[in-house]
Structure 1
Amino acid sequence: MDEVVNRTEFRNAMARVCAPVNVITTSGPSGRGGFTATAMCSVTDEPPTLLVCMNSRSTQAQLFLENRSFCVNVLTGEHKGLASSFAGAQPDMAARYASADWVELPSGSPALADAIVSFDCRLVDSHRVGTHHVFIGEVTHIRSRKDGHALLYFDRNFVHVPSQTGSFGG
Structure 2
Amino acid sequence: MSELTRSQREFRAAMANLSAAVNVVTTDGPHGLAGITVSAACSVTDSPPTVLVCVNRESRSREVLVANGRLCVNVLGTDHEDLAMHFAGATRVPTAERFTADDWDLETEGVPVLRGAPASLVGRIVAEQGQGSHSVLFVEVEKVLTSAESGALVYFQRRFHNLAAQPVSA
Specify if TM > 0.5: yes
Distance 1:105 1:154 in 2: 34
1:161 Cα deviation after fit: 1.7
Assess, with a 3 A threshold, how the Cα gap between structure 1 residues 29 and 53 changes in structure 2: closer, same or farther. same
Distance 1:102 1:152 in 2: 21
1:97 Cα deviation after fit: 1.4
Q: TM-score, normalised by structure 1?
A: 0.90
- Asked if structure 1 preserves the Cα contact closer than 8 Å seen for 2:149 and 2:165, the reply is no
Distance 2:159 2:101 in 1: 21
RMSD: 2.0
Structure 2 counterpart of 1:127, one-letter code: Q
Residue of structure 2 equivalent to 1:85: 86
Q: TM-score, normalised by structure 2?
A: 0.90
Residue of structure 2 equivalent to 1:40: 41
Once the two structures are superposed, the pairs formed by residues 43-82 of structure 1 within 5 Å of their partners are 43-82=44-83
Structure 1 residues 52-74: Cα deviation after superposition (integer angstroms, max 9, x where no partner): 00000112221111100110001
Gaps of 5+ in 2: none
> How many matched pairs?
165
Residue of structure 2 equivalent to 1:23: 24
Give me the identity figure in percent: 41
Residue of structure 1 equivalent to 2:141: 139
Task: Confirm whether residue 9 of structure 1 aligns to residue 10 of structure 2.
Answer: yes
Assess, with a 3 A threshold, how the Cα gap between structure 1 residues 120 and 152 changes in structure 2: closer, same or farther. same
The SS at the match of 1:6 is helix
Gaps of 5+ in 1: none
Structure 1 residues 40-59: Cα deviation after superposition (integer angstroms, max 9, x where no partner): 00000000000000000112
Distance 2:127 2:7 in 1: 29
Task: Confirm whether residue 95 of structure 1 aligns to residue 105 of structure 2.
Answer: no
Distance 1:164 1:149 in 2: 8
Distance 1:80 1:154 in 2: 13
- Asked if structure 2 preserves the Cα contact closer than 8 Å seen for 1:51 and 1:137, the reply is yes
